[in-house]
Structure 1
Amino acid sequence: MGLFKAGSMVYKPVKEVDLSRESSEFYLHANVKAPRMAGILVKIFAWFLESRIFGTFLLYILKGNNLIHKLIRDAELEEPPVYNPLHPFEDLKEQDVTCIGSDLTPSEQVKLAVDCLPVSSGKTLNGSDLHFRRWTISDYSRAYSCGEITPLVVAERFLAAVGESSKPPLQMSFFINYDAEDILRQATASTHRYKQGLPISVLDGVPIAIKDEIDCKPYPTTGGTKWLHKRRPCTDDAHCVERLRLCGAILVGKTNMHELGAGTSGINPHYGATRNPYDPSRISGGSSSGSAAAVAAGLCPVALGVDGGGSVRIPASLCGVVGLKPTFGRLPHTGVLPLNWTVGMVGILAGSIEDAFIVYAAMNGELQLHPSPTLPKICFPLLNKTTPINIKLAKSVEWFNDCSDDIRTCCNNALDKLYKRHGWKTVEVTIPEIEAMRLAHYLTIGSECSTSLSSHLQKMNFAELGWDARVALAVYGAFSGKEYIKAQQIRNRQMQFHKNIFSQADVIVTPTTGVTAYSILNDALKTGELDYVNGAALVRYSIAGNFLGLPAVTVPVGYDKTGLPIGLQFIGRPWSEATLIHIAFAMQALCISVYKKPEVFYDLLQKNEVHQEICEAKELNGTRPTSGLNV
């Protein structure tokens, strides 16, 4: 890592750092020094931070105690800063993929994606087999095409379920906003298309929820606040939402989130704590809390989130669903709140990797502003191929093991399954300076959030903010230009380290979080909470995906001793989404038999055996409702 000199770090030049397993580079555990605070304590702390007399002094001490001075501000580095992790496109020659044209419509891309999937028999259904799985996009499409149910009936069941889950005793707080009239209007139009035999795509009539950080008409975009939508009105759909609407998806409302994305618990003092469907006394994770919990609870097979610091992958892991974060710049970011410009990306939360793939296909489009002379290709994985691909996994052992015993055991067992089934070998490597990268990312996302909101904050009444968000913004606003530039030098170093590791392996494998979902305490419900120790454990493995612009996916692989979900994460080379989906598909297939039904779950299709036999008979006669377009 380097040498300490007069209280600061002197980093070795990148070329002198050994990344092998035998490296002398030491793993520095997260040095978080902050007690948990909520209720009156977080109010007092916020008042002190906002005080002109005490605030500056207190913030200086906090940054010093948490090694920001030593590892970032006063550090000596020779690498120049890199301010934007936009990678040049390289042809990765991925295995078993098909590359598609850039001039296709969203529905055409969805059709090609569905054609890459294996044909499902539809026999493994909720309550009718030995294990649990959620209804998929293909299940919805098949049920609609067979006439078993209509999108309108599903929409009515959805509205009833959201209403029930919002009230005592559950109070799950999945959504900030949903419009029954708009949802029923979309569902009626979709039902009419199916009756005519003209669904737009396999997504037609499928309920999809949108994180309240993404523009989606007719809803305001609050960012989890009570004020931001008043200063930044939503005038149109975000690009990703527009493409889903063009595929016929029913957009069912705006999901709850941690206020301003400034936390990992999903506890929002304005709209309620989003509760974990596996145990409503536990957090769902953040900041895309409502999106993950809504998918886990069966309210929709897919939801959109935004991932700036693990904000898709963390709640996906805690809620037992799939979370996919694409390469930085892969999907257009138009219509997303500009809270963090160089670390945030639209991501996908889904009940299965197949559904994440279909929605990823729908949202992909030509990136006209990409500076690379060679535009990134859009490649889809051929999941219907029977010959397995060959993958090499990189594992940083000390980092991998820096988690709870249950997570470590579960994730190592998952890797053993991959090796026994596919022969995929693991290469042990060292990823240096991980704690410095975490702090550099925190500096970056905090500085960008503070800057993006600066004009609004000057005019607002701070009483409109939650107390935990007030603390976060006070800390964010204390970062200096010198600290920000040093953080970007750390970014340069880490991009070079990871490029070296990807010359040895296809992906880096880690647990998704260091802990499973922890308890929601009553004192946090009205003020939010500050729990930086648990927060650091939750983000421990997420930072590289955001800070370095790398694609990553988390897959549920088991449960801890109390029945809470555990996720395994794969971090890929830039632009290697197809390979990540291949790997996640293989991992899912090996773990699906242990998937458990959440404590809070809604079955919107309520299939029965008679209707299932009708659907299977139609498929045997050559009708495949899941194949996409029928126009």
Structure 2
Amino acid sequence: MHEFGAGTTNINSIHGAARNPYNRRRYAGGSSGGSAAVVAAGICPVSLGVDGGGSVRLPSALCGIVGFKGTFGRISSSGVIPINWSLGMIGIHAAKVEDALIMYAAIHGHLPTDPIVSRPPPVNLPLLKDLEHHQGENHTSRITLAKYTKWFEDCDKEVYKCCYKVLDAVQRRYGCKVIEVTVPEIEEMRLAHYITIGSECFTSFGLDYNKWGRQEAAMDVRATFALYSSFNNQEFLAAQRMRRRQMHFHMEIFKKADIIVTPTTGCTAKPITESSLKHGELNYIDGAKLVRYQIAGNFLGLPAISIPIGYDDDGMPIGLQLIGSPWAEATLLWVASAIEVLKYLVCTLFYYIFYVKI
């Protein structure tokens, strides 16, 4: 994982970088990049990570696998996430949507030691086999997807072009409706999330870091913790006001749509440089691209899933993200499976045309 979980690349200058199975010279993404890489490499079908700022969905997208997080409180994080207690939760890396569903069915729920008690509605586990036999297409056709074009296209061209192709195919195949919406104050939400996660992380182990970690940590972690330590209580409280405001904006969108759709990341996995192996990755332009679309899932506690949908010109994976309303995990898993089935049908057709027919 990325050192202290405080980064998006998983380049750990102390213990080494988690390499991307699609290209060992590129990073796996962070902070739970090792967990994503072992699934992408075929070592195991599923693994767990901690998602506090996209740290499960981000590396899943870069490594070409499924990354899933539920609504905050749906999966117990008791004793596992003492770092960012209002943002982070256990997430799932999986080779397929069905694998993510199986793991989700196994680990959802509460433990008696959970510090935060909520009363979520009963869990709903969709029957994904219906899609394989085309019995679920009528249900999928009733799904409405919301897209904010200005935000959707705020990424590398290869990424949003690939995402548009999938949206077009989903509409043609299943009859899903895509509507245009606006998500106000996205940059303000990103800053509020950063203040929140930084304040919680520094409160959790900032004193220990200052005592024994500062001299050993990589330069990128030092820069991150320098910022974390600078936030004050007024800024933290202002961030929580923005959290409430953004929840209102998103719930208004969910009155009109079932799912908000975005790319998962603004770029694909970049090369690992010699300097980053020694000092940590300090490219904050690409870092901002990597986390551009994941913030709402953590800051607002919304369920979200990343599905692999294609590759850039260098053969690196691209992910599409679905963000749902609270407790709508079943809908996300269903639509993600529909996209996965569609991808399978396209690959089968390609194989038939170019390998069998010819």
Structures share fold, TM-score greater than 0.5? yes
- Unpaired segments of 5 or more residues in structure 1? 1-256, 596-631
Q: 1:418, 1:594 → 2: CA distance? A: 12
Alignment equivalent of 2:136, drawn from 387, 391, 416: 387
Shift of residue 335, structure 1, vs aligned partner: 2.5
Amino acid at match of 1:443: I
**RMSD in angstroms over aligned alpha carbons?**
1.4
Q: 1:576, 1:443 → 2: CA distance? A: 27
Amino acid at match of 2:337: F
Q: 1:375, 1:393 → 2: CA distance? A: 24
| Match in the other structure for 1:554 | 306
Amino acid at match of 1:384: K
Change (3 A) 1:592 1:272: farther
Change (3 A) 1:371 1:305: closer
| Match in the other structure for 1:494 | 246
| Match in the other structure for 2:121 | 376
| Match in the other structure for 1:254 | none
Are 2:78 and 2:111, in contact at CA under 8 Å, matched by a contact in 1? no
Are 1:267 and 1:283, in contact at CA under 8 Å, matched by a contact in 2? yes
Shift of residue 581, structure 1, vs aligned partner: 0.3
Q: 1:592, 1:321 → 2: CA distance? A: 14
Shift of residue 523, structure 1, vs aligned partner: 0.9
Alignment equivalent of 2:148, drawn from 374, 396, 406: 396
Q: 2:209, 2:321 → 1: CA distance? A: 36
What is the TM-score when the length of structure 1 is the normalising length? 0.52
**Residue 297 (structure 2) pairs with residue 542 (structure 1):** no
In the TM superposition, what whole-angstrom CA distance separates every residue of 1:590-622 from its partner, at most 9, and x where no partner exists? Answer: 113677xxxxxxxxxxxxxxxxxxxxxxxxxxx
Q: 2:346, 2:177 → 1: CA distance? A: 24
**Residue 219 (structure 2) pairs with residue 467 (structure 1):** yes
| Match in the other structure for 1:292 | 36
Answer 1 or 2: which has greater helix percent.
2
Q: Secondary structure at the match of 2:124?
A: strand
- Please say which structure displays the higher CA radius of gyration: 1
| Match in the other structure for 2:350 | none
| Match in the other structure for 2:2 | 258
| Match in the other structure for 1:579 | 331
**Residue 74 (structure 2) pairs with residue 330 (structure 1):** yes
Alignment equivalent of 2:340, drawn from 588, 612, 620: 588
Q: 2:38, 2:136 → 1: CA distance? A: 35
Are 2:202 and 2:229, in contact at CA under 8 Å, matched by a contact in 1? yes
Q: 1:310, 1:528 → 2: CA distance? A: 19
Q: Secondary structure at the match of 2:212?
A: coil
Q: 1:513, 1:564 → 2: CA distance? A: 12
Q: 1:274, 1:371 → 2: CA distance? A: 35
Are 2:267 and 2:289, in contact at CA under 8 Å, matched by a contact in 1? yes
Q: Secondary structure at the match of 2:169?
A: helix
| Match in the other structure for 1:14 | none
Shift of residue 526, structure 1, vs aligned partner: 1.8
Alignment equivalent of 2:234, drawn from 478, 482, 485: 482
Aligned length: 338
Q: Secondary structure at the match of 2:285?
A: helix
Q: 1:529, 1:335 → 2: CA distance? A: 30
In the TM superposition, what whole-angstrom CA distance separates every residue of 1:471-523 from its partner, at most 9, and x where no partner exists? Answer: 11111000111111111111111000001000000000000000011110011
Amino acid at match of 1:413: K
Are 1:331 and 1:367, in contact at CA under 8 Å, matched by a contact in 2? no
Are 2:259 and 2:322, in contact at CA under 8 Å, matched by a contact in 1? yes
In the TM superposition, what whole-angstrom CA distance separates every residue of 1:423-443 from its partner, at most 9, and x where no partner exists? Answer: 001010000000110111111
Q: Secondary structure at the match of 1:580?
A: helix
**Residue 18 (structure 2) pairs with residue 274 (structure 1):** yes
Are 2:81 and 2:89, in contact at CA under 8 Å, matched by a contact in 1? no
Q: Secondary structure at the match of 2:315?
A: coil
Are 1:558 and 1:594, in contact at CA under 8 Å, matched by a contact in 2? no
Q: 1:567, 1:583 → 2: CA distance? A: 14
Are 2:81 and 2:88, in contact at CA under 8 Å, matched by a contact in 1? no
| Match in the other structure for 1:567 | 319
In the TM superposition, what whole-angstrom CA distance separates every residue of 1:566-593 from its partner, at most 9, and x where no partner exists? Answer: 0000000101111100010001111136
Amino acid at match of 1:382: L
| Match in the other structure for 2:209 | 457
| Match in the other structure for 1:525 | 277
Shift of residue 367, structure 1, vs aligned partner: 5.8
Q: Secondary structure at the match of 1:305?
A: strand
Q: 2:299, 2:325 → 1: CA distance? A: 14
Are 2:74 and 2:120, in contact at CA under 8 Å, matched by a contact in 1? no
- Unpaired segments of 5 or more residues in structure 2? 348-358
State how 1:57-456 maps to structure 2 within 5 Å.
257-366=1-110, 371-372=117-118, 374-385=119-130, 386-388=135-137, 389=139, 390-456=142-208
Q: Secondary structure at the match of 1:514?
A: coil
Amino acid at match of 2:125: F
Q: 1:281, 1:543 → 2: CA distance? A: 27
Are 1:393 and 1:505, in contact at CA under 8 Å, matched by a contact in 2? yes
Q: 2:210, 2:3 → 1: CA distance? A: 18
Are 2:120 and 2:327, in contact at CA under 8 Å, matched by a contact in 1? no
| Match in the other structure for 2:354 | none
Amino acid at match of 1:523: S
Q: Secondary structure at the match of 1:440?
A: helix
Q: 1:387, 1:583 → 2: CA distance? A: 10
Q: 1:357, 1:364 → 2: CA distance? A: 10
Amino acid at match of 1:306: V
Change (3 A) 1:307 1:484: same
Q: 1:278, 1:532 → 2: CA distance? A: 23
Q: 1:366, 1:264 → 2: CA distance? A: 29
Are 1:269 and 1:525, in contact at CA under 8 Å, matched by a contact in 2? yes
In the TM superposition, what whole-angstrom CA distance separates every residue of 1:154-205 from its partner, at most 9, and x where no partner exists? Answer: xxxxxxxxxxxxxxxxxxxxxxxxxxxxxxxxxxxxxxxxxxxxxxxxxxxx
Change (3 A) 1:260 1:525: same
Shift of residue 338, structure 1, vs aligned partner: 1.3
Shift of residue 364, structure 1, vs aligned partner: 1.4
Shift of residue 464, structure 1, vs aligned partner: 2.5
